[in-house]
Amino acid sequence: MAYTGRELIAARCAKFFKDGDFVNLGIGVPLMCVNYLPEGVDLWLEAEIGIVGSGPSPKWDDVDIDLADAGGQPTTIIPGGSVVPHDKSFGFIRGGHIDGTVLGTLQVDQEGNIANWEIPGKLAPGMGGAMDLCSGVKKIIVATDHCDKSGHSKILKKCTLPLTGAKCVTDIVTERCYFAVTPDGLVLKELAPGYTVEDIRACTDADFTVADKVGVME
């Protein structure tokens, strides 16, 4: 099946994981990843509200009102999963036990900085769990629309909003392409169907290099 838009983002992010990984998925598009896992890949999904082994979104006829993900949406628990205290859940994150996380963002830059907690002009209670994830998780994948609602690039030379994490992002996936974040900057690794390298240069504020072989996102 050919995915587009946010489905494509979620499906591509899901390909980063291998069977048995212990992962955390942020609210929105990141949580969609569980619906696109490759065959034979089962994850231990940690929701910082206190679930280990959170599963795919249920059909509405099968919703258990006592089970909700970090975004307040209905979820499931896979066989062997459990509910744990909130402090233990954050202990997994802060202790470096999570293999990877997928986070949405307002801005991300070519140095691997991420800013995803303060929305200009809106009240923000704080960074929340994203700050802990950025400091305690080994692989940090940003899943985001390439541009904001005004058409401005969300992938910048330097973030202008307050940072959630500094130089921590390892991968950036948008509906247009996939960048790897390296010590030397961003590397364009894959293009979404219908896009060219020139298209990405035109809509990206950040500097980047192009891999010797550019793949196709799917």
Is residue 48 annotated as a catalytic residue, yes or no?
A: yes
Check: CB of residue 170 under 8 Å from CB of residue 159: no
Say which residues have a Cβ less than 8 Å from residue 91's Cβ, sequence separation at least 6: none
CA distance 109 to 167: 9
The residue annotated as part of the active site, out of 7, 39, 48, 190, is 48
Residues recognised as catalytic: 48
